[in-house]
Each structure stands twice: as structure tokens, then as C-alpha cells.
Amino acid sequence: MSGAHKARLAPTAIFLLLASIGLSGCASAVIGVGTAAVAASSTEKGLSTSVADTQIYAKLTDRFFKSDFSLLTAVDITVNDGAVLLTGKVKTPEEKILATRLAWEIFGVREVVNELQVTDTSSIKDLAKDLAASATLRTKLISDSNISSMNFSIDVVNGIVYLSGVAADADEINRVVAHARDIRFTQQVINYITLQTDKRL
């Protein structure tokens, strides 16, 4: 794992985490302002927040280990006040989508900023259309007052829209999916959104 990330986790928080939950094997928006906020120093956080962030980090690395071991070496994880920042390089769009989905499955995660770069673009037919679709959908979610846009991640690959995140209720899920289906060039919508009431680990 990245030494830079470990430096962000307070030693006291790590000690309390290990004492309370023990070791369980190998433990793991918008670019710009959002990224800066996620990457903020943990020294400004309270102890309870630092412990919660450390738990999220440990659970995510564990999920990477169990789901796709290559993510452990390819992805750098930063957690700040429940917001997860993913950076690094992965081979395929599917790996990028998987990393986002696994992060959202963890209790306490309130935002996922995925800045992973895909090195193999041979399977991407029309990147420009996908980027335009993603940006348009993000704008629609932000403009909808009945949707908490920060709680959702969008990935578009070859016209297929992948949605993940946590919704307050079924109506919010339906609104997000409806916006996705209304986007030009959308061929299919794959929904990984879960409800707040669903049990997340």
C-alpha cells in the first residue's frame, strides 16, 4: 500500500482500530475542489472520525484483496471524513467500475471520487461520447433538487451507464436511473445503487 496514505492515518487511530476490530487478513464527483477536500490532512479531524476513516480504509483494502487482488497494487486509497479518493492506474474500465462499487458497499462512505486512469483503451469505442454522457448526467443530478448528487458515482463505457452509490429511498434511485436513460447515446443503464437501509459492512 502507498506509504503516503499510511502517513495520513494517525497512529493513535490505527492502534484503537486494531484493538477494537482486530486484523482481518489484508486490510485496503468532481475533479478539483472535491478532490482537494478528500485529500485534506487528517490532522484536522477528530479522533472518532480518524478511526472511522481507518476502518473504511481497512475494509476497502480487504474487499480489493478478496474481489480482485490486482486492485491492491494498482489503486491508492485516501479516506477523509467518509469521502474516498481512488487514484492510480488500472488496465480495464471494468476494474475502475469495480473499485467504485466496492467502495460504496462499505458503511460510512458518503462520497467516492474515482480518478483511476484506464491504461487499456482498446475496448473503448468512443471515449468522447462517453465523457459527454457522463458530464451531462452529472449536471442533471446536480440540478435535480430531489437528488443528493454527491451520493452517486457515474461511469460510462461504450454507451453503457454504470450507476453506484447510496440513495435515501427507492424514489431517489428511480429518479437517478430515469435521468441516465434520458441521456443521449445511452444504450444501457446498469444500476448498482443501494438504499441507506440496506446493510453495508
Residue 58, Cβ density class (10 Å: 0-12 exposed, 13-18 middle, ≥19 buried): buried
Between CA 100 and CA 192, with CA 120 as vertex, the angle to 5 degrees is: 25
Question: 83 with 111: CB under 8 angstroms?
Answer: yes
The alpha-carbon radius of gyration of the chain (Å, integer) is: 17
Q: Would you say residue 107 lies in a domain?
A: yes
Whether residues 15 and 109 share a domain: the answer is: yes
Q: Would you say residue 200 lies in a domain?
A: no
Q: What are φ and ψ of residue 193, in 5° steps? A: -70, 135
Higher-pLDDT residue of 60, 23: 60
Whether residues 98 and 15 share a domain: the answer is: yes
Write down which residue in 118, 150, 178 finishes a domain.
118
Whether residues 20 and 106 share a domain: the answer is: yes
Q: What is the pTM of this model?
A: 0.74
Give the rounded distance of the alpha carbon of 37 from its chain centre. Answer: 15
* Look-up of cell digits 488496465: 91
Higher-pLDDT residue of 197, 87: 87
Which residue, 79, 10, 12, is CA-closest to 40? 79
Range 128-150 average pLDDT: 96
Contacts of 24 (CB under 8 A, 6+ apart): 58, 62
Which of the four pLDDT bands, split at 50, 70 and 90, describes residue 201?
Answer: low
**CATH number of the domain encompassing residue 131:** 3.30.1340
Written as nine digits, the cell of 159 is 454507451
Question: In the prediction, which pLDDT does 16 show?
Answer: 39
The number of distinct structural domains making up the chain is 2
Range 134-147 average pLDDT: 97
Whether residues 152 and 178 share a domain: the answer is: yes
Whether residues 23 and 53 share a domain: the answer is: yes
Range 17-24 average pLDDT: 38
pLDDT above 80 for 182: yes
Q: What are φ and ψ of residue 122, in 5° steps? A: -65, -25
Question: In the prediction, which pLDDT does 21 show?
Answer: 38
Whether residues 58 and 39 share a domain: the answer is: yes
Q: Would you say residue 87 lies in a domain?
A: yes
Structural domain including 83 reads: 3-118
Which of the four pLDDT bands, split at 50, 70 and 90, describes residue 198?
Answer: confident
What are the tens digits of pLDDT across the range 57-110?
A: 999 999 999 999 999 999 999 999 999 999 999 999 999 999 999 999 999 999
Write down which residue in 59, 87, 118 finishes a domain.
118
Which of the four pLDDT bands, split at 50, 70 and 90, describes residue 27?
Answer: very low
Cα gap 149→143, rounded to integer Å: 9
pLDDT above 90 for 51: no
Whether residues 98 and 161 share a domain: the answer is: no
Write down which residue in 89, 118, 147 finishes a domain.
118
Give Cα separations from 94 to 98, 101, 191 (angstroms): 6, 10, 14
Whether residues 59 and 145 share a domain: the answer is: no
Question: In the prediction, which pLDDT does 47 show?
Answer: 67
Q: Would you say residue 201 lies in a domain?
A: no
